[in-house]
Structures are given as C-alpha cells and as structure tokens.
Structure 1
Amino acid sequence: MQHINYSIDTDGIAFITWDVANSSVNIMNEATFGEFSIAVDMATADDSVKGIVINSAKRDFISGGDLKWFLDYDKSKEDCFEMLMKTHHALRQLELSSKPVVAAINGLALGGGLEIALACNYRIMTDHPANRIGLVECSVGLLPGAGGTQRFLRMLGPQKAIEYITQAKKLTADQALKDQLVNQICKPEDDINALAKAWILQNPEVRQPWDDKRFVVPGTPNGIGQLSGYTEFYSVSNAMAYKTTHGNMPHIKNVLSALYHGSSTGIDNALEVEARYFVDTLFTKETKNIIRASFIFIGDAAKGKAKPKGFEHAKFKKIGVLGAGMMGAGIAYESAKAGLDVILKDVSLEGAERGKGYAATIEQQKIEKGRSTQEKATVILDHIIPSESVGDLKDCDLIIEAVFENEDLKNRVTKETEAVIRPEVVYASNTSTIPITSLAKASSKPDKFIGLHFFSPVDRMPLVEVIVGKKTSDETLAAAIDYVIKIRKVPIIVNDGRGFFTSRVFGKFVNEGITMLTEGIPPAVIENVAKKIGMPVGPLAISDEVNLKLMLDIMSEDPTLTDFEKELEKIISTIVHTHKRPGKKEGKGFYDYPKGAKKHLWKEWSTIYSTVEDYDEEEIGRRLLFAMVIDAYKCLDSGVLKEAKDADIGSILGLGFPIHTGGVMSYIDYIGAQKFKDYAAVLAKKYGERFQLPESLLQRIEKAGTNRMFYKN
C-alpha cells in the first residue's frame, strides 16, 4: 500500500499508520481511505490481532478530507452516497469488531481525521500548544460526512454538537479531555504508541456506548427527538441559523437537519441520514464556491503562490512604521507578533507611545479572555520601540509609511526617511487611494517603492493589497509578498490605479446605498437587505464608519469621477455640511450614536427624502451586488487585476462580499451569466450607464454560453 503502513507487533497489536505519499500531511480521499479500509479489513479479520492502534507517521494525525478532490468531484449523487456508505461501513467495522481500537492523535486531527478517531474506542492526544482536534467542515461550506455529526451528537448532546460543528471549533488537548472527546492526554516526549498499546492490553473487551440498546442521546428525552421540548430546541436553532445566514448557507441548515433526524434513530440509520445530507450539501453551488474561494484561492494566496519566480526569500529583522495612528499601530503590532523588531515612529514620542499602547490594549483583552498570557504579551510588546527620531530608522530592513492620507505629507515623509535608510531597503506606503506611481515620484528609488494597503482593524483583517507602481521592480514585489506572508496575512497583487481594487469597488456599494436613500427607499430596508444578501454590514453603517467627510475629501481629489458620482458628491456634501451628519466619529451620520445607548438610524431621513412604499427587495440587493461586480470586472479588464481569483479573494476578505457566491467574479456564474446580462440590462435602463456591461464582458458571456465563465468547477 502507498499511503497506509500496516504491521503487527509480537503482542498481537496491529498498527495502522497513516503516511500519505508525496504529501506533507495526511488527507482523506478515495485512494487513501480505500487503503485504510483494506487495513481495517485485515486487522479485524485476523484472529491473531488483539487490538488496533491507528496513528500517523507525519507531524499531524490526519488533517481532514481532500478538498480539491471534493471540488473536482464529477461523479453522480448516487455514486457519492455509495462512497459515503462504504466509509461508514469501514468505520462501523472498527466499532463492531470487539477488538479494542485506539487513536494515537499527534498534531492536528481535523474533519475526517477526527471522525476516524471518534470511531475508535479510546483516544489519546499529545498535549502541545499547536495541537487541535475539531470537525471543521462548516468552515469550507461542508458538513461532516464520516459520522462526525452523529458521534458528536451522542458524545456531547445536541447543544454542544451544534455549537462545535457549525462554528468549526478547534479544541486543545485540555478542552477535548474536558468534553471527553479524548480519553487521555500525554506529554510530547511520551511514547503515545506505547500508551495506546498498554490500554488495549488492559481493556480486551470493548463496546461503543451507542451500540448499547439502552443508550440515550444526551439531552434528549428517552432518546426520541420528537418529544416535547426537543423539537422546540431545534426550531429555535433553525431560526437562529437563518437569522445569521439568511438561508444563504445550505450546509448550516443541513447540519441541523442531520442532527435532528439522526437523534431519533439508531446509529446505523443515523449515519445514512448524515450521508444523504452530505451529498445534498456537496452538490450545491454554494459549497463549491466556498471550497474554491476559501480553501484553494485564499489558501494558495496565503502561501505566497503569487510571488514572482526566481527571487530568494527576503528576510526581515527590523522594520520601520511611520505614523502611530490606528493603522500604523496595527501594522506594528502584527509585525511584532511575527517576531520582528519595529521602530514605531510618530511626530512625537508621546504619539508613538500611544501607538504601542494600542498593541498593549489588544494583548490585555486577549489575556482577559484566556487567549494569551502576560509573558507572551511582554515578548510581543518588547519588539515595539516607540520613536520620534527619523535617525532610528537607519538599520531597518523595510519601511511602511502609514501617515495621514495626504499626498504632500506622504511625499515629505518619503524624502525625510530615504535620507537615512540604506539604498536597498524597500519603501512601502499604506495609502488606500493615492496612486503608488504618483507617490513614487517623491522617491529617489521608485523601483524600491510599493504599496501595502492594510485594512482596519489590522489585527483582524487578513487581506493586504500589494500595489505595484509603474517602476516597481519584481524583486521589490517579491520581497513585499515575503513580508506579508511573514506576518500571516493574505496578499493579492494589484496594479496601480486610483482606489486600487478594494477601495474603488467598495465605493460602488456605498454609493448605491446612499443613492437608494435619496430615492426614498427606507434606510432600514437598505441596511437589512444588504445583510440578507450576505454583506456583513449595510452601506449606510459602513459610510458612517469610514466617515462621510473623509469620503468627500477623497472624491474631491479624484479627477475620474463620472457624472453619477459628481451628483453623489453634491448629495454627500449636503448631508455633511447642511444636515451636519459626517459620521460615527462625530456621533451623527446616517445613524445616531447616543452615548451609552445602541445606535439607531436617524429618524429624520423620511422628511428629507420622501419615502416610497413601492420597492423591490430583490432589486435592492441586486443593485448593491451588481454595482460591485461590474466595477470589479472593469478592474480585471483594464489590468488593475491580473486574475479573476484575485478579485474573488479581495472581495471576500477585503469587502465582506458574500462567500457563498464565491466572490465578485464567481457571482456572475453563481446566478448564471445570461441571467446576469439580462438583469444588468434592466438595471441600466432604469438607473443609468453604471449598470451597463462592458463590451468585453458581453462577448465573454456570449462565448461562454451555458458554461462557467471563469472557473471549471
């Protein structure tokens, strides 16, 4: 066998060892699990075998299912169901063999890896800070398909099973032991295989608890799901799930259904229930989109796959961050977490100290939540050195400028800093709107000048736009990507242009929301529809966060505004200057922000813009999404973006675009290219040329026909 090693020791203990060929991790797919099933057959049929240890020859136990295999799965639903039932049969064979089976869990046991362990009679887990177990399938749009829903349900009860599975929780060894998902933990230096063998020899007779006829699912009355109180619990769970997902995530609904229906029957019927819901989930377009975007595209980007070839890995020890406001402080904090020394420079030492204080506040919050310790926080904070002197930057390996969004100020800071740093040092600007080529004119080395556009708050937002100016060298680009990967962010490469990609496209979402308000559509409807279609926040609320005054300043410096945008600029100016509502910072924007109370929409909007009663919620949602999608395509068409997948990554991580659609470019295929074209034509006729599709997109749609436009699956 290629992927599974099988051996029997002198005491009659069979070792089934996962060691997937040509892979750094153990993954489950048709080939690897097929070999595992053969090994199970051999061990259970051999009378000389007293017990079985399932372990790993790699750093981790089993990292889960092969998601690329699932994405490319091209067989029928019937074939998929049959495959799952074979999987269940193999794991049930372990459970019913009467031979004790132990999972020796080192490293990670996630998804299908944990499901194999759950079918064992006993689980031992190595206690290391990096080690985790969890059913994480929901994080990629799937649900557990190898018995995880039903075994979790029978071990944890419905409440924890729902929480752990839908939230894709990863548990430490201590947490897993507390929940009795593992039976024993050991130190990293202990011989986990010897411990597993010892348990087998001491426990020759075993049976899974759910194979006892008297077994009752925890938290259920007599184990029957239809009795009073239990059905109501699932009804509430379904309602809460819908409130969160608005029905856009079929995998969440199917998890709840599998748990509910599986709770009122025996384990074998319950596993069949799970298999049917898994098949139903796998064949949805939402699941395919989530796997493609979240696992493959974002995963590849996070590994630096976009880095230009032929350049050595750039090493950084000390970086300089210019400007200790929220963005600069956040960049300094993330860099310090990655082990880099950071000179955090501001115009005054007091300002720089405040920036370090921002990092200290984040660490204190983590300590209070039990997610860090004072010792770890001290190590991170010691990496941040506040400064008011440009001379302190002389030994830095990278400079990141994060001063106020003013071109003259940025140019002045560039010249001042370049006077003290080494010629080979890369200089990056965190600008969100000003073209890098324009800013690079102030530099004596434009080939070393690049944009690194972080998102606020930096400690929670994973995306970084790496902006390439006209004279930025590939060597500089490669070094910038190495830095982004070093601090565990996700880079996408964006060519220069005003607003780059995310700021430009997100502006279309905001603009459309404000425009609809002026048309008389109730603001609560606009905000609620935005959330219903899958956006994390409405366009009016995010406008308040960004600040309307700042939006005006940016628009006033943009020579490329369309006629529609110029009219919108006047509207925003009226809101800011006439109605005195610039945004959240001032306590008055589209919302009111009373001190000590919850924000609420300003009640006077209906007196300013006459409310209409006749509106179409579907059209409102489409306008918000189409505005972003059409402009994102223009970015791709004009060369601001090189690949469609960068648009999808950037829109999901930077804009909060609904992940179930796969991102802005996938969205066209999600609703159907021809349908997209027809609906855009309706919107263009009603609302103007901003919804008119570029000729190249019309040609692509025509050429694609009924096929997908951007990706095979």
Structure 2
Amino acid sequence: MQHITYTIDTDGIAFITWDVANSPVNIMNEATISEFFTAIDQAINDEAVKGIVVNSAKRDFIAGGDLKWFLNFEATKEESFEMLMKTHQAMRQMELSTKPIVAALSGLALGGGLEIALACNHRIMTDHPINKIGLVECSVGLFPGAGGTQRFLRLLGPRKTIEYITQSKKLSAEQALKDGLVHQLAAPTDDINALAKAWILKNPEVSQPWDDKRFVVPGTPNGIGQMSGFTEFYSVSNAMAYKTTHGNMPHIKNVLNAIYHGSSTGIDKALEVEARYFVDTLFSKETKNIIRAAFVFIGDASKGKAKPKGFEQATYKKVGVLGAGMMGAGIAYVSAKAGLDVVLKDVSLEGAEKGKAYSNQLEQKKIDQGRSTEEKSAQLLDKIHPTDAVDDLKDCDLIIEAVFENLELKYKVTKETEAVISPEVIYASNTSTIPITTLAKASSKPDKFIGLHFFSPVDKMSLVEVIVGKETSDETLAAAIDYVTKIRKVPIVVNDGRGFFTSRVFGKFVNEGIAMLTEGIPPAVIENVAKKIGMPVGPLAISDEVNLKLMLDIMSEDPTLTDFEKELEKTISTIVHTHKRPGKKEGKGFYDYPKEGKKHLWKEWSTIYPQQTKYNEEEIGKRLLFSMVIDSYRCLDSGVLTEPRDADIGSILGLGFPIYTGGVMSYIDYIGGQQFKDYAAGLAEKYGERFQLPESLIERIEKAGNNRVFYKN
C-alpha cells in the first residue's frame, strides 16, 4: 500500500498508520480511504490481532477530505450515494468488531479525520496548544458526510452538535476531553502509541454506546411530554440559520435536516439519512462554488501561486512602515506577528507610539481571551520600534508607505525615505486609489516601486492587492508576493489603473445603492435586500463608513466619470453640503448615529426622495450584484486583471461578494451565461449603459452555449 502502513507487534496489536505519499498532510480520497479500510478489514479478520491502533506518521493525524477530489467528482448522485454508504458500512464494521480500536490523535484531526476517530472505541489526544479537532466541513460549503453529524449528535446532543458543526469549531484537547469527544489526554512527551496499546490490553471487550438498545440521544425526548420543546428547538435553529444565510447556503439547511431526522432513529438508518443529505449538498452549485473559491483559488493564492517564475524566495528582517494611522499601525502589527522587526515612522514620536499602542490593544484582547500570553505579546511588541526620524529606516529591507491619500505628501515621503535606504530596497505604497505609475514619478528607482493595498482592519482582512506599475520589474513583483505570503495574507496581482480593482468595483455597488435611493426605493429595502443576497453590509451603511465627503473628493479628481457618475456626484454633493450628512464620523449620513443607542436610517429621506410603494426585490438584488460583476469583467477585459480567479478572490475577500456564488466571475456561471446576458440587457434598457455587456463578454457567453463561461467545474 502507498498511503497506509500496516504492522503487528509481538502482543498482537495492529498499527494502521496514515502516511499519505507525496503530501505534507494526510488527506482522505478514493485511494487513501480504500487502503485504510483494506487494512482495517485485514486486522479485524486476523485472529492473531487483539486490537487496533489508528495513528499517523506525520505531525498531524488526518487533515480531512481532499476537496479537489470533491470538486472534480464525476459520479452520478446515485453512484455517490452508494459509495458513501459503503464508507458507512466499513466504519460500522469497525464499530461492530469485538476488537478494541483506538485513535491516537496527534496534531490536527479535522473533518473526515475526526470522523474516522469517532468510529473508534477510544480516542487519545496529545495535549498541545496547536493541536485541534473539529468537524470543519461547513467552512467550505459541505458538512460531515462520514458519520460526523450522527456520532457528534450521540455524543454531544443536538445543541452542541449544531453549534460545533455549523460554526466549524476547532476544539482544544482540554475542551474535547470536557465534551467527551476524546477519552484521554497525552502529554507531548508521552508515547501516545504505548498509551493506546495499554488501553487495548486493559479493555478487551468493547462496544459503542449507540449500539446499546437502551441508548437515547442526549437532549432528545424520550417521552411525549418533551416533544414540544424538542420541536421548538429545531424550529428556532432553522429560523436562526435562515436569518444568517437567507437560504443561500444549502449545506447549512441540509446539516440541520440530517441532525433532526437522524435523532429519531437508530444509528444505521441515521447514517443513511446523513448520506442522502450529504449527496444533495455535494451536487449543489453553491457548494462547488464555495469549494472552488475558498479552497482552490484562495488556497493557491495564499501559497503565492501568482509569483513570477525564476526568482528565489525573498527574505525580510526589518520592514519600515511610513504613517502610524489605522492602516500603518495594522501593517506594523501583522509584520511583527510574522516575526519581522518593524520601524513604525510618523511625523511625531507621539503619533508613532500611538500606532504601536494599537498593536498592544490587539494583543491585550488576545491575552484576555486566553489566545496568547504576556510573554508572547511582549516579544511581538518588542519588534515594533516607533520613531519620527527618517534615518531609522536606513537598515530596512522593505518600505511600505501608508500616509494619507495626498499625492504631494506621498511624493515628499518617497523622496526623503529613498535618500536613506539602500538602492535595492523595494518601496511599496498602500494607496487605494492613486495609480502606482503616478506615485512612482517621485522615485529614483521606479522598477523597485510597487503597490501593496491592504484592507481595513489589516489584522482581520486577508486580501492584499499587489499593484504593478508600468515600470515595476518582475523581480520586485516576486519579492512583494513573498512578503505578502510571509505575513499570511492572500495576494492577487492587479495592473495599474485608477481605483485598481477592488476600490473601483466597490464604488459600483455603492453608486447603485445611492441611485436607488434617489429613485424612491426605501433605504431599508435597499439595505435589507443587499444582506439577503449575501453582502455583509448594505451600500448605504458602507458609504457612511467610507464617508461621503471622501467619496466626493475621489470623484472630483477622476476624469473618467460617466454621465451616470457625474449625476451621482451632484447627488452626493447635495447630501453632504445641503443636508450636512457626510457619514458616520460626523454622526450623520444615510444613518443617524446617536451617542446612545443603535444607529438607524435617517427618517427624512422620504421627504427628499419620495418613496415608491411598489418595487422588485429581485431586481434590486440583481442591480447591486450585476453592477459589480460587469465592471469586474471590464477590469479583466482591459488588463487590470489577468485571471478570472483573481476577480473571484478579490471580490470575496475584499468586497464581501457572496461566497456561495463563487465570486464575481463565477456569478455569471452561477446564474447561467445566457440568463446573465438577457437580464443585463433588460437592466441596460431600463437603467442605462452601465449595464451593457462588453462585446467580448457577449462573445464568450455565446461561444460557451449551455456550458460554463469561465470554469469547467
């Protein structure tokens, strides 16, 4: 066998060891699962074997299922169901065997890896802070399909099962022991295999609790009087799930169904129930979109797949960050967190120290939550050196400028910084709107000048747009991507242009929302529909966050505004200057922001823009999404982006575009190319040329016919 090793010691203990070939981690797919169950069958049927230890030759136990295998799965629904039932039968063979089976859990045991462990009679876990177990399939649009829902249910009861599975919770060894998901903890210095063997020798007779005829699922009714509360609990769970997902995530609905229906039957029938709901989920287009975007595209990007070939790994020791405001302070924090020394420069030492204090606040919060220690936080904070002296930047091997969006100011700091740093040092700007080629005019080495556009808050937002100017070299691009992956962010490469990709496309979403308000669509409807289609926040609320006055300043400097955008500029100017409502910072924007209580939409909008009583919610949602999708394609068509997948990654991580659609380019395939073309034509006729599709997109759609426009799977 290639992926599983099988040995029997002198005491008759079989060790079935996961060691997947040509992979840094153990993953479950058709080949590895087949070998594992062959080994299990061999051990069960060998009279010389007294018990079985399932373990790993790698640092982690099993990382879960091979999602690329799922994405490219070509079997029918019926074939998939039969295959899944064979898996259940093999795992039931483990449970019904009279031979004790122990899972020796080192490192991570996630998804299918934990499901295998759950079918074992005894689970021992190494107690170390980085070791976790969890059923995390919901994070990629699936749910546990190898018995996880039903065995969790029988160990934890429905409340914790729903919480842990739908939230993809990863549990520490201590929490897993407390919940009864593992039975025993091993110290990092212990021989976990010896502990597993010792347990087998002391416990020759075993059975699973759910195979006892008297077994009742914890937290479920065992009498008619408890039934109403049980039904009410599931009704509330379904309502809460719909409130969060708006019905856009079939895997959440299906996992709740599998848990509900599985709770009222025996384990074998329950596993069949789970299998049917899992197959339904696996074949949904939403799940395939989430797997492709979240696992394949974002996963590949986070590994630096966009890096130009032929360049060695760039190494960094000290990073200089110019500007200690919110963005600069955040960049300093994530750099120090990655082990780099940081010189945080501001115009005053007080300002620089205030920027460092932001890192202190983040670390203190982690300490209070038990996610870090005073010692670790002190080590991180020691890496950030606040200063107001430009000479302190001379030893830096990367500079990231994050000062205010003012061209003259950026020119000034570029020149004074380049005067003290080495010629080979890369200079990056965190600008969100000003073209990199324009900023590079102040540089004596434009080939070393690049954009690194972070998103706020930097410590939470994972996307970084790596922006290439006209003279930026491939060597600089490669080194910049190495830095982004070093700090564990996700880079996408964007060619130069006003607003780059995310800022530009984000503007279309905001513009459409404001335009709808002026048309008389009630603001609450605009905001609620935006959330219903899967956007994290409505266009009016996010406009207040950005600030309408800042939006006006950006629009006033943009010579490429369309007629629609020029009219919108007048509208925004009226809102800011006549109605005095620039945004959240001033306490008055589309929303009111009282000092006490929650924000709420300003009640006077209906007196300014008389509101319609009839409106089409589907059209409102489509306008918001189509505005972003069409402009994203224009970015691709004009060369601002070179790969459709970069548009999908950037839209999900940078704009909050609904992940169930797969991203802005996948959205076209999600609703169907021809349907997209026809609907866009209707919007263009009704609302104007901003919804007209570029000829090249129409050609793509017509050429694809009934097939997908951008991706095969």
Is the TM value for this pair above 0.5? Answer: yes
Give a deviation string over 1:170-211, Cα, whole Å, max 9, x none: 111111111111111112221111110000001111111101
Q: CA deviation at 1:261?
A: 0.1
Q: CA deviation at 1:127?
A: 1.6
Q: CA deviation at 1:19?
A: 1.0
Cα distance in structure 1, aligned partners of 2:153 and 2:412: 62
The amino acid that maps onto 2:93 is: Q
How is 1:49-448 mapped onto 2 (pairs within 5 angstroms)? 49-222=49-222, 227-448=227-448
* Matched-pair contact (CA < 8 Å) for 1:135–1:170: yes
Cα distance in structure 1, aligned partners of 2:516 and 2:579: 18
Which deviates further from its counterpart, 370-379 or 213-222? 370-379
Alignment partner of 1:221: what SS? coil
Q: CA deviation at 1:367?
A: 1.6
Q: CA deviation at 1:34?
A: 0.7
The amino acid that maps onto 1:488 is: R
Cα distance in structure 2, aligned partners of 1:696 and 1:311: 34
Cα distance in structure 2, aligned partners of 1:286 and 1:346: 46
Match of 1:526 in 2: 526
Cα distance in structure 2, aligned partners of 1:145 and 1:690: 44
The change in CA–CA distance for 1:395 and 1:225 in structure 2 (over 3 A counts) is farther
Cα distance in structure 2, aligned partners of 1:380 and 1:525: 46
Q: CA deviation at 1:225?
A: 12
Alignment partner of 1:229: what SS? helix
Match of 2:651 in 1: 651
The amino acid that maps onto 1:650 is: G
The change in CA–CA distance for 1:57 and 1:484 in structure 2 (over 3 A counts) is same
How is 1:444-523 mapped onto 2 (pairs within 5 angstroms)? 444-523=444-523
Cα distance in structure 2, aligned partners of 1:303 and 1:144: 26
The amino acid that maps onto 1:579 is: H
Give a deviation string over 1:421-457, Cα, whole Å, max 9, x none: 0000000000000000000010000000000000000
Q: CA deviation at 1:223?
A: 8.2
TM-score relative to the length of structure 1: 0.99
Cα distance in structure 2, aligned partners of 1:400 and 1:565: 32
> What are structure 1's unaligned runs of at least 5 residues?
none
The amino acid that maps onto 2:160 is: K
* Matched-pair contact (CA < 8 Å) for 1:64–1:109: yes
Number of residue pairs matched by the alignment: 713
Cα distance in structure 1, aligned partners of 2:2 and 2:317: 42
Q: CA deviation at 1:596?
A: 2.1
Alignment partner of 1:400: what SS? strand
Cα distance in structure 2, aligned partners of 1:6 and 1:271: 28
* Matched-pair contact (CA < 8 Å) for 1:53–1:101: yes
Cα distance in structure 1, aligned partners of 2:470 and 2:129: 45
Which deviates further from its counterpart, 379-388 or 221-230? 221-230
TM-score relative to the length of structure 2: 0.99
The change in CA–CA distance for 1:356 and 1:225 in structure 2 (over 3 A counts) is farther
Alignment partner of 1:11: what SS? coil
* Matched-pair contact (CA < 8 Å) for 1:223–1:263: no
Cα distance in structure 1, aligned partners of 2:89 and 2:224: 24
* Matched-pair contact (CA < 8 Å) for 1:521–1:615: yes
Match of 2:641 in 1: 641
Give a deviation string over 1:313-356, Cα, whole Å, max 9, x none: 11111000000000000000010111111000000000001101
* Matched-pair contact (CA < 8 Å) for 1:225–1:263: no
Alignment partner of 2:319: what SS? strand
How is 1:574-589 mapped onto 2 (pairs within 5 angstroms)? 574-589=574-589
Give a deviation string over 1:354-407, Cα, whole Å, max 9, x none: 101111111111222222222121111111110000000000010000000011
Give a deviation string over 1:132-177, Cα, whole Å, max 9, x none: 1100000000010100000000111101000000000111111111
How is 1:16-55 mapped onto 2 (pairs within 5 angstroms)? 16-55=16-55
Cα distance in structure 1, aligned partners of 2:47 and 2:156: 34
The amino acid that maps onto 2:212 is: D
Alignment partner of 2:270: what SS? helix
The amino acid that maps onto 1:25 is: V
The amino acid that maps onto 1:676 is: F
How is 1:662-681 mapped onto 2 (pairs within 5 angstroms)? 662-681=662-681
Matched, 1:686 2:656: no
Q: CA deviation at 1:224?
A: 8.6
Alignment partner of 1:527: what SS? helix
Cα distance in structure 2, aligned partners of 1:357 and 1:490: 26
Match of 1:701 in 2: 701
* Matched-pair contact (CA < 8 Å) for 1:224–1:265: no
Q: CA deviation at 1:226?
A: 8.7
* Matched-pair contact (CA < 8 Å) for 1:149–1:161: yes
* Matched-pair contact (CA < 8 Å) for 1:530–1:538: yes
Match of 1:614 in 2: 614
Match of 2:712 in 1: 712
Alignment partner of 1:73: what SS? coil
The amino acid that maps onto 1:123 is: R
Cα distance in structure 1, aligned partners of 2:635 and 2:685: 23
* Matched-pair contact (CA < 8 Å) for 1:224–1:263: no
* Matched-pair contact (CA < 8 Å) for 1:225–1:261: no
Q: CA deviation at 1:128?
A: 1.9
* Matched-pair contact (CA < 8 Å) for 1:434–1:499: yes
Cα distance in structure 1, aligned partners of 2:595 and 2:365: 22
Identity of aligned residues (%): 83
The amino acid that maps onto 2:489 is: K
Cα distance in structure 1, aligned partners of 2:662 and 2:132: 28
Cα distance in structure 2, aligned partners of 1:205 and 1:299: 44
Alignment partner of 1:227: what SS? helix
Cα distance in structure 1, aligned partners of 2:381 and 2:2: 48
The amino acid that maps onto 1:348 is: S
Q: What is the alpha-carbon root mean square deviation over aligned residues?
A: 0.9
